[in-house]
């Protein structure tokens, strides 16, 4: 039976071929049939996002809402954000009596930095506390005193705050910038330079040069400078005619006019920044603070690549080269201070040479007196073109103040005792970031 059926189908197929004529006709596959059917369809727009004609708007079911009401929430688990007491940080409050107390940044200063652009881990701290507040430490007062001492004449070399990861380097630099802005300084504060080198932002080659520009990042920096210290910029005239592109700014214009022109013309923003740094570094009317966080990026190999797919070193990015001479002792401020802070969050942007100079290995003394006279043999070349300010671990008094603030912010719910503070301090070895992690391990 099965054999007969096969023979029958074979005979029928032969008969069909004979009726079709001498030419060979190939059957169409399913894919070809579907392609013919949809040959006239516009494929430039997905049908999944086209609303059908006559389709009614969807409504939320009763009892559903996009917001959550906590009127009937259990107070054991949900409570309002506490109103934490913190003094405003300004030129008047930055005194010795503020040590071991929390200070709060002004709204204008935070807006000049930009939301979600806070350095390091500080953004998560501020969100948890409900306000931008940091501990005013003893090292903070030391830096503020030095800033006040440089209002008449700047030092011969820049300074760099260095310490272990989480020691509070970015926090100290941010507090110093806030005090300087409140004191009437011209503040050029680069609060995070990691985005300058991690290839997350656009860049473009400079015509007839091997350099590259980052207009978007430069514009962001100029906007921050103008928002932070516009009054101080207005007080300083250019002192000479400046040509930017096809426009000329006469000598009576101020630094604020120069920055505004850079914002209005992003393609010339880098030139405006270079003129700003040159004029601000030589004028004597208003003190200047140049603060650069993640300063180790100035000597690193970036994540950017050139036209030949070669890694770009930092000295081929114009934005970084604008600040590099200040930290290489090639340029100084006549009136003010240049200071930076290292970062170990992204180790690929900390060069081995810089790390070895910041943290030289201990050397074994040589018994031979003749060899001991050679400084190159006693220890390696660790000279740096800038002063290093070592940020030590927190003191026990600072830890007390920190834990009391955590208690007030409901981050810590247990009573603050000597044993509790000592336990947290020893476990973290006095590191503020480690202590923060230990009390927020369940957040």
Angle in degrees, 0-180, between the axes of helices 169-182 and 215-234, rounded to the nearest 10: 40
The answer to whether 322 touches 262, Cβ cutoff 8 Å, is no
| Tokens, residue 217 | 């990042």
390: enclosing H helix or E strand: strand 387-390
Which is more confident, 37 or 13?
37
| Tokens, residue 102 | 């929390």
The predicted model gives 413-427 an average pLDDT of: 92
| Separation in Å, CA 175 to CA 110, 133, 178, 343, 439 | 11, 10, 5, 17, 24
Least confident of 21-25, 64-68, 310-314: 21-25
Mean pLDDT of the chain: 83
Rounded to an integer, what distance in angstroms lies between the CA atom of residue 355 and that of residue 223?
32
DSSP state of 317: B
The predicted model gives 212-225 an average pLDDT of: 96
The predicted model gives 52-68 an average pLDDT of: 53
pLDDT bin (cut points 50, 70, 90) of residue 199 is: very high
Residue in the structure block whose two tokens are 């426009």? 247
pLDDT bin (cut points 50, 70, 90) of residue 130 is: confident
In this predicted structure, what is the pLDDT of residue 26? Answer: 47
Rounded to an integer, what distance in angstroms lies between the CA atom of residue 185 and that of residue 225?
11
Residue in the structure block whose two tokens are 């029958």? 8
Show the domains of the chain with their CATH numbers: 139-362+372-390 (3.40.50), 396-439 (no CATH)
In this predicted structure, the answer to whether residue 17 has a pLDDT above a threshold of 50 is no
In this predicted structure, what is the pLDDT of residue 358? Answer: 85
In this predicted structure, the answer to whether residue 382 has a pLDDT above a threshold of 80 is no
């Amino acid at each position: 039976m099965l054999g007969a059926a096969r023979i029958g189908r074979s005979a029928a197929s032969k008969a069909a071929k004979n009726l079709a004529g001498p030419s060979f006709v190939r059957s169409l596959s399913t894919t070809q049939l579907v392609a013919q059917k949809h040959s006239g369809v516009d494929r430039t727009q997905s049908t999944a996002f086209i609303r059908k004609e006559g389709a009614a708007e969807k409504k939320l079911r009763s009892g559903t809402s996009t917001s959550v009401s906590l009127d009937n929430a259990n107070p054991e688990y949900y409570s309002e954000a506490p109103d934490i007491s913190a003094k405003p940080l300004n030129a008047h409050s930055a005194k010795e009596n503020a040590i071991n107390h929390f200070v709060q940044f002004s709204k204008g200063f935070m807006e000049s930095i930009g939301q979600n652009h806070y350095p390091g881990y500080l953004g998560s701290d501020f969100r948890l506390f409900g306000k931008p507040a940091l501990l005013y430490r003893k090292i903070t007062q030391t830096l503020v005193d030095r800033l006040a001492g440089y209002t008449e004449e700047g030092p011969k070399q820049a300074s760099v705050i260095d310490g272990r990861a989480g020691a509070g380097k970015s926090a100290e630099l941010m507090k110093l910038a806030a005090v300087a802005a409140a004191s009437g300084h011209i503040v050029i504060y680069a609060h995070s330079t990691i985005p300058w080198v991690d290839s997350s932002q656009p860049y473009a080659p400079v015509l007839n040069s091997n350099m590259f520009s980052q207009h978007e990042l430069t514009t962001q920096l100029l906007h921050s400078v103008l928002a932070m210290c516009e009054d101080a910029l207005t007080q300083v005239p250019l002192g000479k005619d400046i040509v930017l592109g096809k426009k000329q700014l006469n000598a009576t214009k101020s630094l604020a006019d120069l920055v505004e022109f850079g914002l209005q013309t992003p393609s010339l923003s880098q030139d405006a920044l270079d003129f700003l740094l040159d004029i601000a570094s030589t004028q004597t009317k208003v003190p200047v603070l140049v603060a650069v966080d993640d300063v180790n990026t100035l000597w690193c190999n970036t994540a950017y690549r050139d036209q030949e797919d070669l890694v770009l070193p930092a000295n081929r990015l114009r934005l970084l080269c604008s600040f590099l001479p200040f930290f290489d002792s090639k340029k100084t401020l006549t009136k003010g201070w240049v200071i930076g802070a290292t970062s170990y969050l992204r180790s690929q942007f900390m060069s081995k040479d810089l790390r070895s100079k910041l943290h030289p290995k201990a050397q074994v003394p040589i018994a031979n007196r003749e060899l001991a006279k050679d400084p190159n043999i006693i220890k390696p070349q660790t000279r740096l073109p800038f002063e290093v300010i070592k940020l030590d671990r927190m003191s026990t008094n600072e830890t007390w103040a920190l834990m009391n603030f955590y208690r007030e912010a409901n981050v810590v719910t247990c009573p603050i005792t000597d044993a509790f503070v000592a336990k947290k301090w020893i476990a973290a070895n006095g590191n503020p970031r480690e202590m923060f992690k230990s009390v927020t391990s369940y957040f």
